[in-house]
């Protein structure tokens, strides 16, 4: 029987706050989680790309999961990124996530290596069978050297009981819509991973978004989904348009520093990104500050 868990709504891809020495700032992480939940998001997604998962040790990932589960305390679902290069390391991290009590795991395709579609299929099947948790696939070819989950592969994976959906960060609406078309009726859910395509994904039949910009503007981003569910497409479209400049501002620096800079500017402690990622130049900070001012976030 297919698992009933439904990933839906706006789920911030939560940053991992750091101290000046690049150690994790646990108190700032707790404050950020509360800020997001208090401002109407529908879940939190920790240890993803925006959360600098690639820069964290296994022990740090486990600690972040423990804090999130404790601090959120059941108010919204906690999703944790548990992706890795090998099937074995993903399964091991999922075991920890299950014991800690996260609600679902999100697993990016392997990076550095370039598996075939059949290898990706076997990778996810083994992972899903080794955990009781709901599994969310994660397609982000721009961050994985072009490794992507083809719609036909996702169609096959949607048959697995606890594979409940996919986050598509390809930025290709044709790809997203094909995921939705091929998995219709399978109790499988597609989430936008590109913040400029939240409303478009919902209109095609998706169920929400995992959105980095929701760290900075949680009310605005959550309202896109809330308006859509109410049938108020005009306001959903307005909110989506208001959000676009913040997503486009990602180009001002090396991912994932821009959202951290924006949080620091609006008075929410996020600290630096881990090296080699550098802070924005003063010129780029001025451009970002103007975006935030125009959005009335400053």
Positions marked active-site: 138, 167
What is the helix (H) or strand (E) element at residue 225, kind and residue range? helix 218-230
Query: Tokens representing 80?
Result: 């944790």
End-to-end CA, the chain? 49
Strand, coil or helix: what is 56?
Answer: coil
Alpha-carbon distance values, 278 to 39, 161, 189 (Å): 29, 42, 36
Residue 197's contacts (CB-CB under 8 Å, 6 or more residues apart) are 171, 173, 176
**What are the start-end ranges of the E strands in 75-199?**
78-81, 104-108, 135-139, 163-168, 189-192
What is the helix (H) or strand (E) element at residue 239, kind and residue range? helix 233-248
């Amino acid at each position: 029987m297919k698992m009933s868990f439904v990933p839906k709504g706006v789920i911030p891809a939560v940053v991992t706050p750091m101290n000046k020495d690049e150690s994790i700032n646990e108190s700032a992480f707790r404050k950020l989680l509360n800020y997001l939940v208090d401002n109407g998001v529908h879940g939190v997604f920790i240890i993803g790309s925006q959360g600098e998962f690639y820069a964290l040790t296994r022990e740090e990932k486990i600690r972040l999961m423990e804090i999130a589960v404790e601090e959120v305390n059941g108010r919204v679902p906690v999703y944790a990124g548990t992706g890795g290069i090998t099937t074995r390391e993903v399964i091991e991290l999922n075991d920890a996530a299950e014991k800690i009590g996260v609600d679902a795991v999100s697993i990016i395709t392997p990076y550095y290596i370039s598996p075939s579609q059949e290898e990706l299929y076997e990778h996810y099947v083994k992972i899903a069978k080794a955990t009781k948790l709901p599994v969310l696939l994660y397609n982000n070819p721009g961050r994985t050297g072009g490794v992507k989950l083809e719609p036909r592969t996702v169609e096959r994976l949607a048959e697995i009981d606890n594979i409940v959906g996919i986050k598509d960060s390809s930025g290709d609406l044709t790809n997203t819509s094909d995921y939705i078309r091929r998995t219709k009726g399978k109790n499988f859910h597609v989430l936008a991973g590109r913040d400029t395509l939240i409303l478009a994904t919902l209109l095609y039949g998706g169920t929400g978004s995992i959105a980095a910009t929701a760290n900075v503007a949680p009310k605005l981003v959550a309202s896109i989904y809330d308006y859509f569910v109410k049938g108020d497409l005009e306001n959903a479209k307005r909110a989506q348009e208001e959000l676009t400049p913040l997503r486009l501002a990602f180009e001002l620096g090396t991912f994932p520093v821009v959202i951290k800079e924006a949080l620091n500017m609006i008075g929410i402690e996020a600290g630096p990104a881990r090296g080699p990622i550098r802070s924005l130049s003063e010129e780029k900070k001025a451009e970002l500050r103007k975006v935030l001012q125009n959005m009335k976030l400053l």
